[in-house]
Structure formats: C-alpha cells, structure tokens
A and B are shown apart, each in its own frame.
Chain A
Amino acid sequence: MDPRTFCAQSRLIVVAGKGGVGKTTVTAAMARMAAGLGLSVLIVEVEGKTGLAAAFGAEDLEYDERELAPGIRARSLTPDVALLEYLDEHGLGRISKRLVKAGLVEVVSTAAPGIKDILILGKVKQLERAGAADLILLDAPAAGHAVSFLMSPRGLREIIRGGPLRSQSEEVLDMLTDPARCRVMLVTLAEETPVNEVVETAFALEDRVGVDLGPVVVNGLYPVLDGLETAPGTDVAPDLAAALAAAGQFRARRQELQQAQVARLAADLPLPQLHLPTLFSVDLVPRHIDELASALAAAIEALPARTEVA
C-alpha cells in the first residue's frame, strides 16, 4: 500500500500498547514518515514524560502546541486544563478556576470514572473536527489502561443521562467507531507476554469499543542475519572465535524465538503486521527516528492495498 493512502485512511490514529514496547518510538517514526510525505502532523501526548520530545531533541511538551520538527507539532493534554477549557466554552468560565482549584477533577472522576478520559478524548475530537492537522497521532496510555481509556465514552453514557458531558461522550464515541475518522494502531514486541496482551487488547477494543484496528506494529525485531551458524575463520584468535560463536548462537536463538512469536501473533490475531527492527541502542535520537520512519514506510508499502469492505 502507498504510505500516502495509508495516512489518508483516517485523520486520527491512536497508538496503543503495553508499557516498554516502544509506543512512543513508533509514534515518533509514524510522525516523521507522514511529515516526509508532506503532511502536517500533530502528536498528542496524554501521560506526560514519555520522552517523545527528547526523541526529537526538544524540551518536554506542554499543553500549548509546539513544533518538534518541520511539519510535526506536538502537545500534551491534561484533564485539568482540558476541563478548564471545557467549562469556559460552556459558559462556566467564571467559576471554573475555583472549581478546578478545589479539586473538582479528582472529586468528579471518583464519582464517575472515565471523566478524565472523556475530557481528553473530547479535546482530541475537537482537534479532529477542526482539522488541526492532516494526521493526528494520539500516544495512548499503556495497554490495559488503553482499553478503559477508549471505553470511557461508552461507560459514561451509562452513568450520565443528560447534559453536556453526555453529548460529549456520544460525539467522542461517534468518532472512535467511524473508521474514516479514527483507527487504533497497536504496538507490541515479539515476546510471549506482550503478544498475549496485544491479542487480548485487540479483541477488547474491537468488541467493547467498536474501534477500527489498523495493522499491528511488531517492534524491536532482530534483522534476520543468515550465516550465524558458520564457524569463525581459522585466522581468528581463539578468544574472539569463542565470542563470535557464542554471540552468533545467542542471536540465532533470539531470532528463532521472535519468529515463533510473530507466527503465533499472526495465528491469534488476524491483522496485518508492520515489522520494525531493533536499533541495538539504548538511546533514541533523531537519527533513529529517521531510520524507523523509513522502515515503517517500507513495511507499509509491502502491505496489500486495502480491500473495500461492504
């Protein structure tokens, strides 16, 4: 599939996955790829301190939008500020500061779980409706929480029978369940527990939220190297030969385990996969983002063109 077509399928992409699988890295690579195609991109971060800004060599994000790189803007949404803005827009600006200061968010979100989430999703919906960018990437909370995060509008519809928050929930739900407006891209590693969790999350999101799922990103794969089983040449010192052989064995074993998990994921979850390589690095710098953006584009190009669903 043409990456341009891929990006045009919905304005909003929610990137979700278990902690530590590289959700933020994938968000950054996706943004870079889209910006490279000439699209304007807005990244929305909701948990704070994800390291997204650092990956672009920038300072931590704030509520107000900032440019991270050419064509890529980003902002961090918090429930408190989103609530202030919401109250303001609903003619309650006069008392809003006082309410928020008195801990309204904590009180209300205890009374009706999910209100924090709906405040954030409501803001995202507003950005989506306003066409704030060609592509909006939402770096979602970690896996288990991603389900309750996206479930919040459904849950709130049960609790709240009227008023602005109810209509807000309905509008957010409309966006989440419309494949032309929103998709979820799940990220995982080719390891036992992350694969189990991503399968579970995928089914929960589809059944309980009714959101459209894009391809699953399998991150951190060892690029398959052939010839790892061959013996090191005889001209190599014995110590180094032993190291080469042991490292080769380790790599071959890891590759094998990863391929087995990739196959299991394919069997358990009928979604196309996008494979991203490990970078053999503990740090994430702009150069890595570029490399991953190219890998992502190549993986998308290898996808079959999407068949129309009646």
Chain B
Amino acid sequence: MAVGDLVGDRAILVCCGPGGVGKTTVAAALAVDGARRGRRTVVVTIDPAKRLADALGLGSLTDTPRRIEGDWPGELWALMLDPRSTFDGLVARYAPDPGQAETILANRFYRNIAGALSGTQEYMAMEKLFELHNDERFDLVVVDTPPTRNALDFIDAPRRLSRLLDNRLFRLLMLPARTGLRAVNIATTAFVRTIGKVVGSEVVSDAVTFFQAFEGMEDGFRRRAQGVLDLLADPCTAFVLVTSPRRDAARETEFFAEKLGEAGIGVEALIVNRMHPRFAPAGVGPGEGPLHRNLADLERLADGEEAHVAGLSRRVGAPAVCVPELDTDVHDLAGLARVATYVFASAD
C-alpha cells in the first residue's frame, strides 16, 4: 500500500528502524501529511536530541500534546515521550490506593527501572501510543520509536515488565512477605545474603521492598501489556520501517523485519532515506579528469545502494520508497515538505 494511503486510512503508524537514518524526520513528515489530509494527528517522539521539535520548527516539546498551527484542514499535535511520567501514571492507575502508589514511586529500585530496565523506554512508547489511541481528540497517532539495536527489545517491551514480575528470583525474594514460614525464610535469607554479598545488601533490600509494594498489581500490568500487544497486531496499526542504504543500517532493518514477522506483524512500508542521487541513468562512458572520476564514483555508489535496497525490499516484503540525500539538514516545515514530496511521490 502506498504510504499516502496508510496516512489516510490507519489509526496508528509506528515508525521504526536503526539510529541515525532520519526516522524522526520521516515521522514528522507523515504527521504533517495526516493534518494535510484533514486528520486530527498527533506525533510522539522519543528522541532525546529533540530533533522532532527542531523539524517542526518548535523550540521544545513536553510530554503533553502541544498543538502546531499550520495551513492544513486537519490538526497537528506533537509531544515528547517522558518514560518516567508515563510509568508513574501506570503505577498510579493500578495501585489499589494512593499510599501504595506513593511507596512505589519513592522506592529507589522503581526509580531505577524507568532508566535501566532494557526495553522500558520502548514499553512506555507503546503505552503512550495506547493512551493516545484512546484519546478522543486524535484519530491518527504517529509514533517515532527509539533506535532499535535489538529488535527483540522493541516487540518484547510490553511483555517484559510482566515477565520481570513473574521472575523466579523475585518470587523467592518476595516469599518472606508472603508466607512468613520460618523454613522458607531461612533458605531465602541465605539466598538473598549470597546475592547481597556480590552486589551490596542495599541493592537487594531496595528490590525486596519494591516487589513487596508491587504485590497485587501484576495482573493490571499484565492485562495492559496484552492490550498494547493486541493493538500493535490490529489492522488499524501499520509498521513503517525507516532505514538508509548503508550496509549496517540495511542489515539491522532486515533483522528487525524478520523479528516483526515472527511476532505476526507485517511491514507495510519501507522508506529508505538518504539515497545518493543518480546522475547518469544511461551509463558513465569513458572519460578522464575530475568530472568523469566524480561521476563514476557517485554512480558506483548509487549502483551499490540500489542493489542493497532492491534486496532489502524483497526480503522485507514491502516496496521501497526512496528519499534522496538532501543538501541541508531538515529543521523546519519547509524541509519536511521537501521530504514529503519524495515519500508521497508514488501515491500521486
């Protein structure tokens, strides 16, 4: 399906791919196009470099949607993900009472989770997406995702926290609080002491306190994670892979598409950013001097890139939409419009 049709029809567009390929810029261009098509669009970015804010010509973004005025029939809103406050919101939602929520929010182990548990950022991105999808103000959500070094982190993210809560080690740590049985207590204490010897006892007691405070909330989290996963697999969601023709980016993208496939999620569009332009489609011909040498260099590069993209497109199972290398960085709406002319070229 053409990228333009996805922007027109779907409720959620997830832009993913390796770092440094211009994912944020593409997400912003898709969102602007959504507003142009009359949709009430919100775009959420994760990028700590605040590049989306730059691309939209805004100085800064916060984690509450902010409206961007422009010459379009729809609406355009943007926000920046703050994993901490999203996570805090989840805890507040599932804690049986405000006191328990407070205990968790003040716990050192919890405070570390938002920054340290691998996949938390991805999980919170998905969580935010779920929230915005259910927000009546919007009918199209575009998500820019963290660079995906490990594809599994991303798809796995919602499941990861429930898995952490189900962890056998945690079960052991929590046993004293649960049963109070003396026999269990001794065994567990020895076990905990052993871990404490290596990592320091404060770390262990923080963890124990956290999991004791978390008692009874696992179910809520698990159901929520399942809801997010269902939404990702729903036909109203489209995954857009953004990449560049560089060797390492292409390899990562392919790996990621494979993992999405294993999770039962298809890639509906492949956008290859920063292609070198082709100057001599008819061939270079013989010649001497810097002009000839340069043309030969650039054509050789374009040949290599095109071959890479053709292979990638075949293996990913989606046609490639190519955006050429622009001669300046994209940092305003005019720049986004330039990107958009290439992204949506095939739709016209």
Q: Footprint of B on A, CB under 8 Å?
A: 18-21, 24, 47, 49-51, 87, 90, 92, 95, 99, 102-104, 106-115, 142, 144, 159-166, 191-194, 196-197, 225-228, 230, 232, 236-237, 239-240, 243-248, 250-251, 253-254, 257, 280-284
Contact = CB atoms under 8 A, between A and B. Distances in A.
The listed residue with most A CB atoms (<10 A of its CB), out of B113, B244, B298, is: B298
B147 interface: yes
A103 B245 CA distance: 37
Interface stretch (B31-39, B93-101, B198-206, B216-224): B198-206
Contacts of A226: 290
B112 A20 contact: no
Contacts of B314: none
Contacts of A191: 329
Contact of B277 (A90, A114, A250): A250
B116 A144 contact: no
B197 interface: yes
B19 interface: yes
B289 A227 contact: yes
Interface stretch (B8-16, B65-73, B178-186, B279-287): B279-287
Contacts of B207: 107, 110-111
Given A160-B199, A226-B290, A254-B327, A19 B109 contact: no
B149 interface: yes
A113 B247 contact: no
Given A240-B280, A250-B298, A20 B329 contact: no
B: interface residue count bin: 35 or more
Contact of A51 (B149, B195, B248, B304): B248
Nearest to B283: A240
Contact of A282 (B200, B298, B305): B305
A164 B197 CA distance: 8
Contacts of A230: 290-291
Given A236-B287, A248-B294, A87 B327 contact: no
16 contacts: A19-B19, A19-B147, A20-B244, A102-B168, A103-B168, A103-B169, A159-B203, A160-B203, A164-B198, A165-B198, A193-B329, A228-B291, A230-B290, A243-B295, A244-B280, A247-B295
Interface string B125-164: 0000000000000000000000101000000000000001
Interface of B: 18-21, 48-49, 51, 109, 112-113, 115-118, 147, 149, 164, 167-170, 194-195, 197-200, 202-204, 206-207, 244-251, 255, 277, 279-280, 282, 284-285, 287, 289-295, 297-301, 304-305, 307-308, 327-329
A197 B147 CA distance: 15
Nearest to B208: A111
A197 B195 CA distance: 38
A111 B18 contact: no
Given A20-B19, A240-B280, A257-B328, 13 more contacts: A21-B20, A24-B248, A51-B248, A107-B169, A107-B207, A110-B164, A165-B198, A193-B329, A225-B290, A240-B287, A247-B299, A248-B294, A251-B294
Contacts of B291: 227-228, 230, 232, 244-245, 247-248
B88 to A, nearest CB: 17
A284 B300 CA distance: 14
Nearest to A225: B290
A252 to B, nearest CB: 9
Given A107-B167, A108-B203, A281-B301, A163 B293 contact: no
Contacts of B51: 193
Nearest to A160: B200
Contacts of A144: 48
A286 to B, nearest CB: 14
Contacts of A159: 200, 202-203
Contacts of B199: 108, 111-112, 115, 160, 163, 165
Given A51-B248, A282-B301, A106 B294 contact: no
B251 A51 contact: yes
B196 to A, nearest CB: 8
Contacts of B301: 280-282
Nearest to B207: A111
A159 B48 CA distance: 25
Contact of A20 (B18, B197, B284): B18
Nearest to B250: A282
The listed residue with most B CB atoms (<10 A of its CB), out of A110, A194, A239, A245, is: A110
Contacts of A99: 169, 195
Contacts of A18: 19-20
A99 B168 CA distance: 10
Nearest to B115: A113
Nearest to B303: A282
